[in-house]
Amino acid sequence: MTHNPLDLWNVSREDYPADGSEIEKLKFMLRYAILAPSGHNTQPWIFKITNSHIEVYADRGRELPEVDPEHRELFISCAAALFNLRAAIRYFGYEDHVEILPDSKNANLVAVVSLGGQYHPTDEDQQIFNIIPKRRTHRLPFKNLNVPESVVFKLVAAVESEGAWLHVIGQDEKQAVADLVAKGDELLLSRPDFREEFVEWLRPNKSNAPDGIPGYAFGLGNLASTVAPFLIRKLNVGKSQGAKDRKTLLNAPLAAVLGTPGDTPHDWITAGQALQRLLLVARKEEIYAGYLNQPIEAEELRPVLRDNIGVDGFPQILLRLGYGSEPRLTPRRSLDDVVVA
């Protein structure tokens, strides 16, 4: 039987093996971990289950050396999956014990997560968990509706609770940040290797691949989703894409930079967990998020972005948030693809 990678989003808590072994329970909880976002939808994580704990590894075979040469976004993606796993553990009645980067000799081991004692999930725990299958990355324009200030406070608090910070971009900062997004597009898309790497993760709409970004996520029809990779490979579309993304940032109801005090792998893991909590809190408020990370991915622009928004620390993610129609699902790798013995 052919596997449909979209079916994995339809996980139900009703299927939880309450009377099963700890290994069976942990494997079920991983159904929620794999619904996390990742750069180019590479899903660069591997899990190893042993008795009462899960080892979370970064899959270097899915790294993006052109856009992410320091592996910063790789760790952020794995940390988002880690947060989902923690949320599932708490929801199903266990304390979550987490060791971050526990082995200095194994840089790929992101965390070891184990089941603790009995835990009674709070209302917030339940709400966060239940929204995991409803999170989507939104790549199309948002509606022209402002995000209430009360919701902005919740997003800031969500990020800070995980040890990161969120700087909401003010109207007086928006033009400068939008210009940096456009400049980032020009710098990155001028590099043929960058374009080639991006194209490797684009998928035609009718593809049954378990990873990558289908054309429909960008609003492309079937024919355009097939032709686009060829055009991107051959043409430097940096200026036109920059103009489009500048407008996208300027029209965003809410734009924000998520950052951390430092810029180490530990900070990246902090950023990834903070990002995922923010995304879930936002989705609970019927708000979607998309990314405009070009000023952070273009190394020379990252300190300029920091200076423009006047923050201490290191920008990790540039987000736009707002209301919109629910995006179509993007594919997921199966547990058999990501769980190793």
In order of start, what are the domains of the chain with their CATH numbers? 7-136 (3.40.109.10), 149-190+236-322 (3.40.109.10)
pLDDT in tens, the chain (341 residues): 457 899 999 999 999 999 999 999 999 999 999 999 999 999 999 999 987 899 999 999 999 999 999 999 999 999 999 999 999 999 999 999 999 999 999 999 999 999 999 999 999 999 999 999 999 999 999 999 999 999 999 999 999 999 999 999 999 999 999 999 999 999 999 999 999 999 999 999 999 999 999 999 999 999 999 999 999 999 999 999 999 999 999 999 999 999 999 999 999 999 999 999 999 999 999 999 999 999 999 999 999 999 999 999 999 999 999 999 999 999 999 999 999 97
Rounded to two decimals, the pTM is 0.97
Q: Are 321 and 282 in contact (CB under 8 A)?
A: yes
pLDDT at residue 341 in the model: 75
Taking only Cα atoms into account, the Rg of the chain, rounded to an integer number of angstroms, comes to 19
> 10 Å Cβ neighbour count for 1?
3
Encoded tokens for 136: 């989507």
pLDDT at residue 1 in the model: 46
pLDDT at residue 3 in the model: 72
The beta-carbon contacts of 189-197 under 8 Å, at least 24 apart in sequence, are: 189/236, 189/237, 189/238, 189/241, 190/236, 190/238, 191/66, 192/233, 193/66, 194/66, 194/67, 195/232, 195/233, 195/236, 196/66, 196/233, 197/64, 197/65, 197/66, 197/67
In angstroms, the CA 179 to CA 169 distance is 13
pLDDT at residue 52 in the model: 81
